[in-house]
């Protein structure tokens, strides 16, 4: 895997308060990389530092091997961002809003139609932004992030204020652009189910420190399954399942087990052959939200 963005020992202090504490991140080309944490954890500070909007107390940010904080000429035109609530001139059309931004960046105006096509807004380009729905404004903000033809795009809460259909449209848009445009995304959101469904890797930040950075599969132990078995014959079942499961512990009125994915047929066979009377069996779902709540102590 090719590393496209790396953050090393990023630290930010305001007077005596350490907002970021030796942040280390590694993002690979083509990732849809989730960046999550509670309010005030340091997500926005990290993002703004990567973008060069904030100067760190110490640390380095490398994009395609170039130190973008120390070498100003390397300050990335190949990184786009949508952070905070998207702000536009309401009385101008979507096209003219992007034209103003393109002029500031010194970009060719033909790129405007390309990005409007990417986000399915070409038919609405001559309408005033004041007439746009929230979803259309969010998509226009994504188009603006793509104007400089970036290799990395940072999206901070891109589904804020969207209805379920708008959330689905945004998710599909990101997946399409990641697949077709060879784009790497950093996706920040409080909607953890959305992060779980969309992202292939994730970093969790809390109190200015990275709690965990891993693939989504590893984080959620997707190669394992957990079950709660309610039975009055717990002790007998424990003996039968010894050396057949990865983990096992007593719970109220039964037994908790963790097994390799697909191995429940072995457990079920033992229960049947030994005539264990079962009251209930429930499978525990592995979710990013559960892991998050456990790690950050909420």
Residue with tokens 């709660």: 228
pLDDT of res. 195: 93
Mean pLDDT, contiguous 10-residue spans, the chain (298 residues): 91 90 94 93 92 91 86 65 86 96 88 90 96 90 90 88 81 83 87 91 94 89 87 94 93 92 92 94 85 74
Pairing, β 32-36 against β 201-206: parallel
Give the Å distances, CA to CA, from 85 to 98, 123, 184, 225, 228.
Answer: 16, 23, 21, 39, 43
Query: Are the C-beta atoms of 128 and 92 separated by less than 8 Å?
Result: yes
pLDDT of res. 75: 53
Give the Å distances, CA to CA, from 256 to 2, 246, 251.
Answer: 40, 11, 6
Task: Tell me what percent of the residues of the chain surpass a pLDDT of 70.
Answer: 96
Q: Which of 151, 148, 144, 198 is nearest to 170 (CA)?
A: 198
pTM over 0.85: no
How far is residue 164's CA from residue 113's CA, in Å, rounded to a whole number? 27
DSSP letter assigned to residue 128 = B
- pLDDT tens, residue by residue, 106-145: 888 889 999 999 888 999 999 999 999 988 998 899 899 9
Give Cα 186 distance to the centre of its chain.
7
**Who contacts 51 (Cβ-Cβ below 8 Å, separation ≥6)?**
79, 81, 83, 154
Q: Both tokens of residue 104? A: 């500031």
pLDDT of res. 297: 63
Strand extents, DSSP E, 15-65: 17-28, 32-36, 58-63
pLDDT of res. 161: 74
């Amino acid at each position: 895997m090719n590393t496209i963005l790396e953050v090393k020992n990023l630290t930010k202090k305001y007077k005596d308060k350490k907002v970021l504490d030796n942040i280390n991140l590694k993002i690979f080309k083509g990732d849809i990389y989730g960046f999550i944490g509670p309010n005030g954890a340091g997500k926005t500070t990290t993002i703004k530092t990567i973008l060069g909007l904030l100067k760190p107390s110490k640390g380095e940010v490398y994009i395609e091997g170039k130190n973008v904080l120390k070498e100003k000429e390397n300050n990335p035109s190949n990184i786009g961002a949508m952070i905070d609530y998207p702000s536009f001139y309401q009385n101008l059309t979507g096209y003219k809003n992007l034209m103003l931004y393109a002029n500031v960046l010194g970009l060719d105006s033909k790129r405007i139609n390309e990005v409007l096509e990417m986000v399915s807004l070409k038919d609405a380009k001559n309408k005033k932004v004041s007439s746009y729905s929230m979803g259309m404004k969010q998509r226009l903000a994504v188009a603006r992030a793509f104007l400089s033809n970036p290799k990395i795009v940072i999206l901070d809460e891109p589904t804020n204020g969207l209805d379920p259909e708008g959330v689905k449209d945004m998710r599909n848009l990101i997946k399409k652009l990641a697949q077709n445009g060879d784009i790497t995304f950093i996706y920040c959101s409080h909607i953890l189910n959305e992060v779980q469904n969309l992202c292939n890797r994730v970093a969790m930040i809390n109190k200015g420190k990275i709690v965990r950075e891993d693939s989504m599969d590893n984080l959620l132990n997707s190669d394992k399954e957990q079950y709660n078995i309610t039975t009055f014959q717990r002790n007998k079942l424990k003996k039968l399942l010894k050396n057949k499961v990865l983990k096992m512990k007593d719970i109220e009125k039964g037994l908790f087990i963790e097994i390799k994915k697909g191995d429940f047929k072995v457990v079920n066979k033992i229960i049947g052959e030994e005539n264990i009377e079962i009251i209930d069996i429930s499978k525990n779902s592995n979710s990013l939200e559960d892991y998050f709540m456990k790690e950050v102590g909420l």
